[in-house]
Amino acid sequence: MNRLEAVTLANQLLCDFDLENWTFKINTRAKTRLGCCKYYPKVIELSAWCLDGGVVPGKAEDTIRHEIAHAIAGMDAGHGPVWRKACMVTGANPNRCASQQVINEMPAAKFKLVCDKCHKKLGERHRRSDMNNRFHRNCGGDISFKLN
């Protein structure tokens, strides 16, 4: 599925399920998820990586339907029974969209967060961000970005 097909399908599904006040966008920065439902400001997102990264065929459409089911079910539904019923309506698979194989194929993080004092790895990030006044709560050391 290419980007134009994804936008066309998503907009059609939003209309079909009476979600005309919602919008669809392709997120070019998302690297750790296939899709996202943002209740405020009512946006369904699909990761560009999901389209361009060679994910399993049909996964992009299922992800769009999965996120629309979240919009139908509401913010408090999570992946519970109300959301699963909404999946039946949208035609989404009511399970986790990303298999472990897909997760393993996602792009590796560019940076790791490391404590300068105890040298413990504290996490990973795809982008560098402002880390002013950030310190490791266990030892009090400053946290730095290091290339992975």
Per-residue pLDDT of the chain (148 residues; tens, 9 = 90+): 888 999 999 999 999 999 999 999 999 887 778 889 999 899 999 988 878 766 666 788 999 999 999 999 999 999 999 999 999 999 998 876 555 555 556 666 777 888 888 988 877 776 667 665 677 778 878 888 887 7
pLDDT of residue 120: 85
Half-sphere exposure of 48 (CA within 13 A, CB side): 5
87 is written with which tokens? Answer: 């999946």
pLDDT of residue 126: 66
Q: CA 90, 61, 94, 108: dihedral to nearest 10 degrees?
A: -150
73 is written with which tokens? Answer: 């079910």
pLDDT of residue 1: 84
Q: What's the CA gap between 66 and 63, in Å, rounded?
A: 5
pLDDT of residue 57: 65
pLDDT of residue 134: 78
Whole-model pTM: value is 0.70
pLDDT of residue 114: 85
